[in-house]
Amino acid sequence: MREGNLIDGRWVGADSGATFEVSDPATDRVVGRVPDAGADEARRAVDAAFGAFSAWAAKPAIERAKVLEALSARLAGDREELAALLTEEQGKPLPEARAEIDYARSFFEVSAKACQEIRDETPSVPGKKVLVHRRPIGVAAAITPWNFPMAMLAKKIAPAMAVGCTQVLKPAEQTPLSAIALLDRAMASGVPPGVLNLVTGDPAAIGSAWLEDPRVRKLSFTGSTDVGRILMRGAATNLQRLSLELGGHAPMIVFEDASVDFAVEMAMAAKYRNGGQTCICPNRFLVHRSLHDQFVSKFASRSAALVSGRGRDPGIALGPMIDDAAIDKVEAHVADAIQQGATVVTGGRRRRIEGLADRFFEPTVLTDCHSGMRCWKEETFGPVCPIRGFDDETEALAQANDSEYGLASYVVTNDPARIRRLGDELRTGIIGVNDPGPAVAAVPFGGVKHSGFGREGGRWGLEEYLEMVTVSSLEPGAE
Ligand code: NAD
């Protein structure tokens, strides 16, 4: 396994030779060591990306598409090895890691097709011949989080590479090994030196070096809203284009016409993926009063039965929280809710497991929740499910929209008129109607309000890396 940075096609260490450790959050065992790089290495990565840009951008789309397809095939071939690595550094159950590799691959496949469908446009203007042309924006930077270390990077690499951009990439400190493995496969699939460059180390130093460099024309960031704000301020000097995929606080609304069993299935699938450490997973449950008690009882008993442990072991549904700060936050949110009157139906505490790190939290279902509680306003990012009842659609909608975030929302109903209304009125970028997994590579994914802006997925994802040029010529003889 490689443990270096990739600059201009070469695997290198930090200038200082310094490294930092990567450990398995379930056991604290050190599983890798990567370069602790900073601004100088980040600038050299831009040199390489800038140098490689013209040649990569000039390739026909079909040639770039072939490289993306080759990378997808290689990821498929190495699926087991990559999934094991992902689980080791991130903690999620192995079946979820495999699903993440498949999800990552789907972005290469979708982008390979979509880049061949980009066409010039010719709007009709009297007396003029106008061509609207799209060209790659240039060097693009990407900074990604730890919760989906392979997929979040693929969502950025695939569209950028497809349209002819070159990139500088920084994965999260907790999970750089999956990123390194992905770039290793990319190089083996025919990506030319300099097209993809990866730097691990000091986030602020690397991020600032990229934003201070006018050759970097785009930054795509997935992570917390607070860091998104810092980066947006940093982008003001050189006016880099931004895509910000930030925090979420998804409501799930269960209406009176829903089947309780289906609603419970949907809640289980949407909520517990990655132990609740998923930006689009429901953080608040709004359940019609006529179904409330039945839903709570079934959801709590299903939740209590989930088995926690090392992600690589069979039958595990919940891995560890990523680090100590993450589990401390989950615990603090639950304590705050209890102190403010919530009832613990199941869970509520850490789950100690013999021989493993103290980073497991019980699946927790809370009732009697209200909007003054931290878990109702802030991202808990853990297996905690606060529930409150509602009486009618107007009340449910007002509660669902009462959040600074606007990434995803979920609705369980079979009423077509209601589905249409909510599609207009829920203030989130993604709405899952009877669908616990609305995020797929072929459709736009992204938020509104403090969940950011920009979209990933399908041809919409490619647009983020293209700039439009209008070429306007006077027709001969026109005034
Ligand atoms: P984070 O914001 O702490 O870190 C994300 C990335 O930013 C990491 O690579 C980190 O090293 C880097 N970073 C931190 N400070 C930086 C700085 N000053 N300059 C440059 N880079 C910096 O987030 P996290 O804890 O890794 O991830 C969890 C967050 O990500 C949650 O808020 C979650 O909702 C969000 N998320 C959003 C989406 C989405 O698509 N909207 C997807 C996954 C995760």
**Which of 55, 70, 63 has its CA nearest to residue 195?**
55
Backbone angles phi, psi at 329, to 5 degrees: -65, -45
Return the best residue to mutate from 212, 219, 222 for the ligand 1 pocket (most ligand atoms within 8 A of CB).
Answer: 222
Taking CA atoms only, the protein residue closest to ligand 1 atom 18 is 204
Taking CA atoms only, the protein residue closest to ligand 1 atom 12 is 203
Task: Please name the residue that has the structure tokens 């949407």.
Answer: 270
Dmax over CA atoms of the chain, in Å, equals 85
Ligand 1 atom with least separation from CA of 245: 41
CB-based pocket (< 6 A), ligand 1:
143-147, 170, 172-173, 203-204, 207, 222-224, 227, 230-231, 245-248, 279, 379, 407, 447, 451
What is the DSSP secondary-structure string of 388-421?
Answer: EEESSHHHHHHHHH-SS--SEEEEE---HHHHHH
Two tokens, residue 192: 């030319």
Helix (H) or strand (E) holding 33: strand 30-35
How many Å apart are CA 31 and CA 309, to the nearest integer?
Answer: 18
Taking CA atoms only, the protein residue closest to ligand 1 atom 40 is 245
Question: What's the pLDDT score for residue 305?
Answer: 98
What is the DSSP secondary-structure string of 179-240?
Answer: HHHHHHHHHHTTPPTTTEEE--B-HHHHHHHHHT-TTEEEEEEES-HHHHHHHHHHTTTTT-
How many Å apart are CA 175 and CA 20, to the nearest integer?
Answer: 11
Task: Please name the residue that has the structure tokens 């929302």.
Answer: 409
Return the best residue to mutate from 199, 224, 445 for the ligand 1 pocket (most ligand atoms within 8 A of CB).
Answer: 224
Task: Please name the residue that has the structure tokens 């910000």.
Answer: 244
In contact, 38 and 54? CB cutoff 8 Å: no
In contact, 450 and 247? CB cutoff 8 Å: yes
How many Å apart are CA 147 and CA 145, to the nearest integer?
Answer: 6
Q: Ligand 1 centroid vs 276 CA: distance in angstroms?
A: 16
Q: Ligand 1 centroid vs 130 CA: distance in angstroms?
A: 41
Taking CA atoms only, the protein residue closest to ligand 1 atom 8 is 172
Q: Which amino acid is at 209?
A: A
Ligand 1 atom with least separation from CA of 322: 25
Ligand 1 atom with least separation from CA of 247: 34
Q: Ligand 1 centroid vs 245 CA: distance in angstroms?
A: 9
How many Å apart are CA 240 and CA 210, to the nearest integer?
Answer: 10
Two tokens, residue 318: 């919940």
Radius of gyration for the alpha carbons in the chain, expressed in angstroms and rounded:
23
**Which of 173, 180, 112, 111 has its CA nearest to residue 150?**
180
What is the DSSP secondary-structure string of 86-150?
Answer: HHHHH---HHHHHHHHHHHHHHHHHHHHHGGG---B---BTTEEEEEEEEE-SEEEEE--SSSTT
How many Å apart are CA 272 and CA 303, to the nearest integer?
Answer: 9
Kind of pairing between the strands at 384-390 and 466-474: unpaired
Residues 6+ apart with CB under 8 A from 331: 350, 361
**Which of 74, 274, 27 has its CA nearest to residue 191?**
74
Ligand 1 atom with least separation from CA of 225: 32
Two tokens, residue 428: 């989130």
Task: Please name the residue that has the structure tokens 């829920």.
Answer: 426
Domains of the chain (ranges plus CATH)?
5-246+451-470 (3.40.605.10), 250-433 (3.40.309.10)
Q: Ligand 1 centroid vs 158 CA: distance in angstroms?
A: 19
Q: Which amino acid is at 473?
A: S
Burial readout 253-287 (b: 16 or more C-beta within 10 A, e: otherwise): bbbeebebeebbbbbbebbbbbbbbbbbbbbbbbb
**Which of 230, 235, 221, 166 has its CA nearest to residue 456?**
221
Taking CA atoms only, the protein residue closest to ligand 1 atom 36 is 223
First to last CA, the chain: 66
Return the best residue to mutate from 147, 242, 328, 443 for the ligand 1 pocket (most ligand atoms within 8 A of CB).
Answer: 147
Two tokens, residue 220: 């795509």
Q: Ligand 1 centroid vs 222 CA: distance in angstroms?
A: 5
Taking CA atoms only, the protein residue closest to ligand 1 atom 28 is 223
Helix (H) or strand (E) holding 5: strand 5-7
Q: Ligand 1 centroid vs 171 CA: distance in angstroms?
A: 9
Q: Ligand 1 centroid vs 345 CA: distance in angstroms?
A: 31
How many Å apart are CA 105 and CA 139, to the nearest integer?
Answer: 23
Ligand 1 atom with least separation from CA of 223: 30
pLDDT per residue rounded down to tens, the chain (479 residues): 677 999 999 999 999 999 999 999 999 999 999 999 999 999 999 999 999 999 999 999 999 999 999 999 999 999 999 999 999 999 999 999 999 999 999 999 999 999 999 999 999 999 999 999 999 999 999 999 999 999 999 999 999 999 999 999 999 999 999 999 999 999 999 999 999 999 999 999 999 999 999 999 999 999 999 999 999 999 999 999 999 999 999 999 999 999 999 999 999 999 999 999 999 999 999 999 999 999 999 999 999 999 999 999 999 999 999 999 999 999 999 999 999 999 999 999 999 999 999 999 999 999 999 999 999 999 999 999 999 999 999 999 999 999 999 999 999 999 999 999 999 999 999 999 999 999 999 999 999 999 999 999 999 999 999 999 999 999 887 65
Cβ atoms < 10 Å from Cβ of 106: 19
Question: What's the pLDDT score for residue 99?
Answer: 98
Residues identified as active-site: 245, 279
